């Protein structure tokens, strides 16, 4: 059954992160919360074209940029590959976690999630629920006493973890990662030159470092620093600078490079995959303009460009397959400008209304 309303907490207007959003992004968040097909887990299908029709003049690229801004601020979790959106704090803020029966419906809704990042985000939210606030008193049932509200909610959460378990994104460390190699010990005494011999009464030189290479390998030389790319360099140098800048952030996200450009291989891929329907240079210019205006960050901008091209091709195909409206003869209702009543006029070929 479709939802009839969405719950908006008044405390949202005291949330500093929410106040940092633009008014359009704030409206979009409230729009997502009030969608009739939002399930109890906070899951929505990603339907950009349908949402864009809900406001006059709303462009698809503009809508996509606002969604990415909400994802960057962690109000939503977005997966374009599975075309899913998760309202990250919905279970907590909508009070779903306080009602055992609704929590059961939430578990069923969560099993519809295909995206591993969305599943992981939902499981992380379960750890943030203040379960201590729930009653620990036994509930009254027709057969006597039943489990407490807290116990029932905990059982639903345990069922959820079993139902949507996701693989650990970080593999277990190997032995070389957990047990670091001990540093090479310095020579206790410099080795003498064999041609000079050893003077009488001098201490015997240490033979600690005379063992073969199979005992301990010499330390690897310090790698030479990679030179920074020069302005106007190749795409590979620009991508290297982009990656190096992202290394300074824990999430690896970087802004769009100033000299972003596609290479001949990407241009040939676009032509071979989508044909003349997609103009690679035009779409690249649109891509750069959009992300310059939004100021977003990505881990790999060339992968993001390929996503942009695939979406543009999809929308172009949808527009091509959409039937065009054609005027036909017959009776059509017209509005009488001199009254509030509709009247019928007749349109014939060669006549004007």
List, for residues 198-225, the tens digit of each pLDDT value: 444 444 444 334 433 344 444 555 555 5
Other Cβ atoms less than 10 A from the Cβ of 27: the count is 13
- pTM score: 0.49
Helices assigned H by DSSP within the chain = 16-19, 23-33, 48-52, 60-72, 90-93, 100-110, 116-126, 149-163, 175-178, 235-246, 264-274, 280-294, 301-321
Residue 332 bridge partners (DSSP): 345
What token pair was written down for 311?
């979406």
Beta bridge partners of 255: 297
CB 109 within 8 A of CB 160: no
Q: With cut-offs at 50, 70 and 90, classify the pLDDT of residue 134.
A: very high
pLDDT tens-digit map of 159-196 = 999 998 777 655 555 554 455 555 555 544 454 454 44
CB 148 within 8 A of CB 67: no
Task: Find the helix packing angle between 301-321 and 280-294, rounded to 10°.
Answer: 120
Mean pLDDT of 298-322: 84
Q: Beta-carbon neighbour count of residue 193 at 10 Å? A: 7
Phi–psi pair at 254, nearest 5 degrees: -135, 155
SS3 state of residue 49: helix
CA of 330: how far to CAs of 8, 12, 61, 323, 348, in Å?
49, 54, 39, 20, 7
More confident site: 252 or 73: 73
Least confident residue range of 83-87, 103-107, 162-166: 162-166
**pLDDT tops 60 at residue 334:** no
- Measure the CA–CA gap between 128 and 165, rounded to whole angstroms: 17
Angle 217-218-221 (CA atoms, 0-180°, nearest 5)? 130
What is the percent of the chain where pLDDT is above 90? 41
How are beta strands 144-146 and 139-141 bridged, if at all? antiparallel
Q: What mean pLDDT comes out for the span 219-241? A: 47
Report how far apart, in Å, the C-alpha atoms of 332 and of each of 327, 338, 343, 349 are. 10, 18, 9, 14
352 falls in which pLDDT band (50, 70, 90)?
very low
User: What is the structure's pLDDT at 109?
Assistant: 92
* Residues 352/337, Cβ–Cβ less than 8 Å: no
pLDDT given for residue 121 in this prediction: 94
Give me the pLDDT at residue 154, please: 95
Please provide the average confidence, as pLDDT, over all residues in the chain.
Answer: 76
CB 31 within 8 A of CB 54: yes
């Amino acid at each position: 059954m479709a939802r009839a309303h969405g719950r908006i907490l008044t405390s949202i207007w005291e949330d500093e992160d929410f106040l940092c959003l633009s008014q359009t992004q704030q409206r979009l968040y409230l729009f997502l919360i009030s969608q009739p097909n939002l399930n109890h887990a906070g899951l929505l299908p990603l339907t950009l074209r349908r949402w864009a029709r809900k406001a006059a003049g709303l462009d698809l690229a503009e809508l996509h940029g606002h969604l990415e801004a909400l994802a960057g601020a962690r109000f939503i979790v977005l997966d374009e590959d599975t075309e899913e959106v998760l309202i990250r704090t919905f279970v907590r803020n909508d009070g779903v976690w306080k009602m055992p029966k609704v929590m059961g419906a939430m578990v069923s809704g969560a099993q519809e999630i295909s995206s591993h990042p969305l599943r992981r985000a939902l499981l992380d939210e379960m750890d943030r629920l203040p379960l201590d606030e729930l009653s620990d008193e036994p509930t009254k049932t027709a057969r006597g006493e039943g489990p407490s509200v807290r116990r029932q909610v905990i059982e639903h959460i345990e069922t959820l973890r079993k139902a949507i378990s996701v693989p650990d994104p970080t593999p277990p460390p190997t032995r070389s990662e957990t047990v670091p190699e001990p540093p090479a010990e310095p020579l206790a005494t410099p080795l003498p030159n064999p041609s000079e011999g050893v003077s009488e009464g001098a201490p015997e030189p240490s033979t600690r470092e005379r063992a073969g290479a199979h005992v301990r390998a010499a330390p690897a030389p310090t790698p030479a620093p990679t030179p920074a790319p020069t302005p106007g360099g190749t795409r590979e140098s620009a991508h290297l600078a982009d990656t190096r800048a992202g290394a300074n952030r824990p999430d690896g996200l970087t802004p769009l490079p100033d000299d972003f450009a596609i290479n001949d291989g990407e241009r040939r891929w676009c032509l071979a995959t989508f044909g003349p329907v997609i103009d690679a240079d035009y779409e690249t210019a649109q891509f750069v303009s959009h992300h310059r205006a939004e100021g977003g960050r990505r881990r790999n901008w060339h992968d993001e460009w390929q996503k942009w091209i695939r979406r543009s091709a999809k929308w172009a195909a949808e527009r091509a397959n959409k039937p065009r409206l054609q005027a036909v003869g017959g009776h059509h209702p017209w509005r009488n400008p001199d009254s509030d009543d509709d009247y019928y006029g007749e349109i014939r070929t060669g006549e004007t209304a």
